[in-house]
Structure 1
Amino acid sequence: MKIAVCVDRDGEPAALFKGQAVRLYQQSGDTWVLRREILLDLRADEGLAALKLALHTVWSRLEDCREVLLREVRGIGCVILQDDMGVRLWRSEGALAEQLDNVGRKIQETPRVEASGCGCGGRGRAPEASGQPDPAPDPEVVAPGHLRVDLAALLAADTRRNSRDLLAPLLEARAFERLDIVCEHLPRWFDSTLARLDLQADVQPEGAFLCARVVPVPAAAQGGCSRS
């Protein structure tokens, strides 16, 4: 079994954009042997194409390893790893040796299932991965007709969830006058779904996150949908 780990300068699990290197470990009996270490220099402000190229370059040297341990699973880099490269991400905090053992057990217990949409979250949690997610709670009712979903928190609470499963049923039902969605980034399928359903979104910063206010397109304007 092989696990790649994004590590900081102290050699402990790190978030993708805070990591100094990616280490590839292979299990040998009860120990984990370091096979190689690749320096990591990712910048959150570089363009999407450059970020994809950098990630593909690093992971092409990891001997087809598709299990990655990170301190945080959040942001566009995680979307690229999961959706474009088929990598399974494990979020965990703590000493590296202990977390390698924990994730190794989880890998053996959990069948590998291809992700359908982005499952990136944040806000810290013990190791988890694909399988049947826990049922998501109903959206918060802010006022009659006004709903709110903290997508970032829902994804962080259970890494087996993905944005499409959480949001698509709400959008399809259109049982709201306004739906606020708190997230780290909007899913790639979001705009096309809004256009198909005659919905539109105004996206504004909310602290470290984004808040997309989704409302029906006014009847007079239907036939075209744009995101502000």
Structure 2
Amino acid sequence: MKSGKEEEKPMNEEIAVVLGGHGKTATLHDSAEIVIYKKTGRQWSLLKAMPFCIGEVFNLHQLRLKMKELIAFLGECKVLAALSVSGAPYFELEKHGYAIWEIKGKPPAFLQMILDEETESACREDGLDEKPGPAAEEVYPGHLRISLHGMQGCGNGLSSKQILQPILKKGEFLTLEILCDHAPPWLVAKILSGELRGVVEKIAGNESRILIAYSK
């Protein structure tokens, strides 16, 4: 540990999951339950739960009240996993610093994978890990392509944001083509807000292609 820095607190080993029927992940718009799991030793156990659904919310004020209720319930837990999160709920959670995971399945199967990636992501942000991500290839002058296939949700310590943000910040492209298992919600949010110019397309199966146009 570097001198002159306070000792960092260990990462909070709690993960909230949006659960629907049959104990599988659901969206915030479904009739669902928010369940917070906590890791103690090597085991994951249910810490607390509450019913939650924004399916009947019809205006922005009501939505913000529901999200305020959710954030109060989450407390110190800063990681939320769901089948999908988009639109205003995504913006509200991101604004309050939550890590948002889109994942299909039943806990606790994926909880350790999420915790491992969040821990490695925190290390990268602190400059403690320099694991390289996949490189973008220049298909033809000014046009880059990068594939995230096999990278999303596999617990390799690299998030889509960590891989793509350096490329987007450099802006050394006319168009950037991103091939992925699913469209990262943070990137979709930037497109919808107008921060980035781009389109999201569904291609074969559950795969997606995102085309980003460079803009100053």
Q: Please state which band the TM-score falls in when normalised by the shorter chain.
A: 0.5 to 0.7
Alignment counterpart, residue 190 of structure 1, candidates 190, 195, 212: 195
Alignment of 1:77-116 (within 5 A): 77-82=89-94, 84-107=95-118, 111=122
Which residue does the alignment assign to 1:31?
A: 43
Which residue does the alignment assign to 2:15?
A: 3
Contiguous gaps of at least 5 residues in structure 2:
1-12, 179-186
CA distance 1:78–1:8, change in 2 (3 Å):
same
**Contact 1:136–1:166 under 8 Å retained in 2:** no
**Contact 2:137–2:144 under 8 Å retained in 1:** no
Which residue does the alignment assign to 2:53?
A: 41
Which residue does the alignment assign to 2:75?
A: 63
CA distance 1:44–1:103, change in 2 (3 Å):
farther
CA distance 1:85–1:213, change in 2 (3 Å):
closer
Tell me by how many angstroms 1:66 deviates.
Answer: 0.8
Alignment of 1:126-205 (within 5 A): 134-138=133-137, 140-141=139-140, 147=143, 156=152, 159-161=159-161, 164-170=165-171, 173=172, 176=174, 179=175, 184-185=188-189, 186=191, 188=193, 190=195
Q: TM-score, normalised by structure 2?
A: 0.57
SS of 1:13's partner is coil
Tell me by how many angstroms 1:34 deviates.
Answer: 1.9
Between the two proteins, what is the percent identity of the paired residues? 16
**Contact 1:149–1:180 under 8 Å retained in 2:** yes
SS of 1:98's partner is coil
CA distance 1:167–1:216, change in 2 (3 Å):
closer
Distance 2:121 2:176 in 1: 33
Contiguous gaps of at least 5 residues in structure 1:
115-129, 192-200, 218-228
Distance 2:106 2:37 in 1: 15
Q: CA RMSD in A?
A: 4.5
* Amino acid across the alignment from 2:50: I
